[in-house]
Structure 1
Amino acid sequence: MNEGLGLGLITVEVCDYGSLTVQHLEKIARHPEVAVMNYDCLNVCGMCSLKPFAIVNGHRIFANTIDACLEKIEKKINEELDMLQ
């Protein structure tokens, strides 16, 4: 596990073996409210080999492509931020 950046009001977790990596999330990680964390395994057996995915505040976000997944992640982050305000 690597330590994330940001305040951590919203956590985005990715698996080391998945197609979606911390590098893909660099833009998202710039938000001060967001902590991006990567783990050896997220215990969502097989998901990392099927589609790009991440867990945002406990919610699985996945799509057929990395770009589509990133869009869904950003949407979920915005929803979470709206709920905090």
Structure 2
Amino acid sequence: MHIVEFCVSNMHHGTDRVLRRLEELPDIEIVEYGCLGNCGECYLSPYALVNGTPVFAETADELYDRIIEELRAQEDERSALDKLLDDL
């Protein structure tokens, strides 16, 4: 299960649309907070935390793509680590 966290204060960038699209995907838990403590970035651009990793973009559509890329990268890292541990 992956966790993608959104700041409610960032929704003016269109991240509410990203949130709704991600809710349709399996194995993703969406969490909304009033503040994630990244106020400077929140003011400037769309962002979310993907399993604790900040992901930023110029637009909400780009944020969705970057979140998907980050989820895939984290899955690849997890698979590589699992394989390494299996080889031990």
Structure 1 length-normalised TM = 0.76
- Aligned 8 A contact 1:20 1:54 in 2: no
Deviation at residue 27 of structure 1 after TM alignment? 2.2
Which of 45, 55, 73 lines up with 1:79 in the alignment?
A: 73
Q: How far apart, CA to CA, are the structure 1 residues paired with 2:14 and 2:53?
A: 16
Q: How far apart, CA to CA, are the structure 2 residues paired with 1:32 and 1:48?
A: 26
Which of 60, 63, 70 lines up with 2:64 in the alignment?
A: 70
Moved over 6 A (4+): none
Aligned residue identity for 2:62:
A
The structure whose Rg is larger is: 2
**How many pairs are equivalent?**
77
Q: Which 5+ residue runs of structure 2 have no aligned equivalent?
A: 80-88
Q: How far apart, CA to CA, are the structure 1 residues paired with 2:38 and 2:19?
A: 20
Structure 2 length-normalised TM = 0.74
Task: Specify the alignment match of 2:83 in structure 1.
Answer: none
Deviation at residue 35 of structure 1 after TM alignment? 0.5
- Aligned 8 A contact 2:2 2:28 in 1: yes
Residues 1:16 and 2:16 are matched in the alignment:
no
**Identity across the alignment (%):** 31
Deviation at residue 20 of structure 1 after TM alignment? 4.2
